[in-house]
Amino acid sequence: MEAKPQMFLVVEDHPEVAQNNCDFLRKFDHSAICVIANTPQEAQQCLQIEKPDLIVLDLQFVTPSGSQSAKPAFQLLELIFDAYSSLNILNL
Protein backbone atom coordinates (compact mmCIF):
# COMPACT_ATOMS: atom_id res chain seq x y z
CA MET A 1 0.00 0.00 0.00
CA GLU A 2 1.37 3.39 -1.02
CA ALA A 3 1.71 6.06 1.67
CA LYS A 4 -0.52 9.12 1.50
CA PRO A 5 1.43 12.17 0.28
CA GLN A 6 2.21 14.76 2.91
CA MET A 7 0.22 17.98 2.84
CA PHE A 8 1.78 21.33 3.64
CA LEU A 9 -0.20 24.52 4.26
CA VAL A 10 1.82 27.67 3.55
CA VAL A 11 0.22 30.84 4.94
CA GLU A 12 1.96 33.76 3.26
CA ASP A 13 0.70 36.99 1.69
CA HIS A 14 3.58 37.36 -0.77
CA PRO A 15 2.97 34.95 -3.70
CA GLU A 16 6.62 34.55 -4.66
CA VAL A 17 7.69 33.78 -1.09
CA ALA A 18 4.81 31.31 -0.72
CA GLN A 19 5.82 29.51 -3.92
CA ASN A 20 9.48 29.43 -2.86
CA ASN A 21 8.44 27.87 0.47
CA CYS A 22 6.44 25.20 -1.37
CA ASP A 23 9.32 24.49 -3.74
CA PHE A 24 11.69 24.11 -0.79
CA LEU A 25 9.34 21.74 1.05
CA ARG A 26 8.92 19.60 -2.08
CA LYS A 27 12.69 19.03 -2.11
CA PHE A 28 12.13 16.82 0.94
CA ASP A 29 9.05 15.07 -0.43
CA HIS A 30 8.49 15.30 -4.18
CA SER A 31 4.98 13.88 -3.88
CA ALA A 32 3.90 16.42 -1.25
CA ILE A 33 0.82 18.53 -1.77
CA CYS A 34 1.41 22.19 -1.02
CA VAL A 35 -1.59 24.46 -0.45
CA ILE A 36 -1.05 28.21 -0.28
CA ALA A 37 -3.32 30.44 1.79
CA ASN A 38 -2.78 34.16 1.23
CA THR A 39 -4.37 35.19 4.52
CA PRO A 40 -4.95 33.66 7.95
CA GLN A 41 -8.67 33.65 7.10
CA GLU A 42 -8.01 31.48 4.03
CA ALA A 43 -5.90 29.20 6.23
CA GLN A 44 -8.84 28.77 8.63
CA GLN A 45 -11.04 27.72 5.71
CA CYS A 46 -8.39 25.20 4.59
CA LEU A 47 -8.17 23.77 8.10
CA GLN A 48 -11.92 23.12 8.09
CA ILE A 49 -11.48 20.95 4.97
CA GLU A 50 -8.27 19.05 5.71
CA LYS A 51 -5.57 18.90 8.37
CA PRO A 52 -2.07 19.41 6.96
CA ASP A 53 1.04 17.60 8.12
CA LEU A 54 2.82 20.93 8.48
CA ILE A 55 1.75 24.58 8.55
CA VAL A 56 4.31 27.19 7.51
CA LEU A 57 3.07 30.51 8.85
CA ASP A 58 4.37 34.00 8.12
CA LEU A 59 4.01 36.17 11.21
CA GLN A 60 3.62 39.52 9.42
CA PHE A 61 0.68 40.32 7.15
CA VAL A 62 -0.13 43.49 5.26
CA THR A 63 -3.12 45.33 6.71
CA PRO A 64 -5.67 47.25 4.61
CA SER A 65 -3.77 50.46 5.46
CA GLY A 66 -0.58 48.99 3.98
CA SER A 67 1.28 48.51 7.25
CA GLN A 68 2.48 45.18 8.65
CA SER A 69 0.78 43.44 11.56
CA ALA A 70 1.37 40.19 13.44
CA LYS A 71 -2.12 40.24 14.99
CA PRO A 72 -3.83 38.09 12.29
CA ALA A 73 -1.07 35.45 12.53
CA PHE A 74 -1.27 35.35 16.32
CA GLN A 75 -5.04 34.97 16.14
CA LEU A 76 -4.59 32.04 13.74
CA LEU A 77 -1.99 30.50 16.05
CA GLU A 78 -4.38 30.83 18.99
CA LEU A 79 -7.09 29.06 16.98
CA ILE A 80 -4.68 26.30 15.97
CA PHE A 81 -3.46 25.80 19.54
CA ASP A 82 -7.06 25.60 20.80
CA ALA A 83 -8.70 23.54 18.07
CA TYR A 84 -5.85 21.68 16.35
CA SER A 85 -3.22 21.26 19.05
CA SER A 86 -1.55 18.27 17.37
CA LEU A 87 -0.63 20.13 14.15
CA ASN A 88 3.01 20.89 13.36
CA ILE A 89 3.74 24.59 12.84
CA LEU A 90 6.77 26.44 11.49
CA ASN A 91 6.69 30.21 12.02
CA LEU A 92 8.68 32.49 9.76
> Is residue 42 one of the residues assigned to a domain?
yes
Beta-carbon neighbour count of residue 61 at 10 Å?
Answer: 21
Quote the mean pLDDT of the chain: 91
pLDDT at 33: 95
Tell me, what's the pLDDT at 1?
62
Q: In terms of residue numbers, what domain contains 87?
A: 38-62+69-92
Does some domain include residue 19?
no
The verdict on residue 20 lying in a domain is no
- How far does the chain reach from its first CA to its final CA, in angstroms? 35
Beta strands in 1-92 (DSSP E): 7-11, 33-37, 54-57, 61-62, 68-69, 89-91
- Reported as a single tens digit per residue, the pLDDT across 38-82 is 999 999 999 999 999 999 999 998 877 888 889 999 999 999 999
3 falls within a domain: no
| Range scoring the smallest mean pLDDT among 19-23, 51-55, 88-92 | 88-92
Q: Domains in the chain: how many in total?
A: 1
Please report whether residue 45 resides in a domain. yes
